[in-house]
Amino acid sequence: MAWVVLLVSGVLEAVWATALGASDGFKRRKPTIIFAVTMALSMAGLAYAMLSLPVGTAYAVWVGIGAVLTVLIAVLTGSEVLTWPRAALLVGLVGCVAGLKVIS
């Protein structure tokens, strides 16, 4: 159950990071509200997962999921370009996160 909560929390991290960027320094109301709500839920989920998972592993997986999804959202919305080196590094990051899960 902790891994599922951690996965959802990582997805929510990507949502709040994207909303933070869209909030224009907290000047735009809707992205700011989305940021605040999803950040609180993401942190709560991470805290819950850390009750039964190693702290370092849980945090690395949470950050990895959030980072990769945030980049993918930016690429899909056209605000960033996915180059081959960036794609290779993201694949490496996913591999490292998966490896941490396997050995935990």
Mean pLDDT value across residues 85-92: 93
51-78 pLDDT per residue, tens? 999 998 899 999 999 999 999 999 999 9
- Structural domain boundaries of the chain? 2-103
Q: Say if residues 73 and 14 touch (Cβ distance below 8 Å).
A: yes
- Is the predicted pLDDT of residue 102 greater than 90, yes or no? no
How far apart (Å, rounded) are the C-alpha atoms in residues 12 and 55?
A: 18
Work out the number of other CB atoms within 10 angstroms of the CB of residue 86: 13
**Where residue 14 falls among pLDDT bands split at 50, 70, 90?**
very high
Residue count (the chain): 104
Ramachandran assignment for 53, one of left (phi > 0), alpha (psi -120 to 50 degrees), beta (any other): beta
The pLDDT of 67-93, averaged and rounded, is 94
Q: What is the C-alpha to C-alpha distance for residues 83 and 32, in angstroms, rounded to an integer?
A: 30
